[in-house]
Amino acid sequence: MRKLLSIIVLGLLIIGCSKKDRMDILSCSDPNTTTPELFAVGIDFLIIKYKTSQQKQISIDDETNDKIIAIDTHGLIFTFYKRTKGMIIQFPEPISQTFTLKCEKIN
């Protein structure tokens, strides 16, 4: 009976720790600007300019324990680092600029 109970509890813990229903809201700001921008990270997508009229959903291309990478249709690369709560936005050619944002989870 104890073994069965421990198996059930372990199963519930594993199910509860999944990213099945993840929706993290992040407030990210560039040190050079005063207005933060909202991002949302879902199960398999990233929403940029969250809760604005310019909101755009991008599929997550790669996710590891440390980072989430999403690339939009124009080649703009969003890399969110989970531990440091930082985001790097890389613009493709011909712009070729990189911006580093500091993020804070707000939900």
**Which of 3-12, 43-52, 73-82 is least confident?**
3-12
Residue 20 has pLDDT above 80, yes or no: no
Q: What is the C-alpha separation between 43 and 57, in angstroms, rounded?
A: 12
Q: What share of the chain is helix, strand, coil (3-state, %, to 5)?
A: 15, 45, 45
Listed by start position, the domains of the chain span: 21-105
Across residues 6-30, what is the average pLDDT?
70
pLDDT at 89: 95
Across residues 9-31, what is the average pLDDT?
71
Which tokens hold the place of 25? 């809201």
Q: pLDDT tens for residues 51-107? A: 999 999 999 999 999 999 999 999 999 999 999 999 999 999 888 899 999 999 998
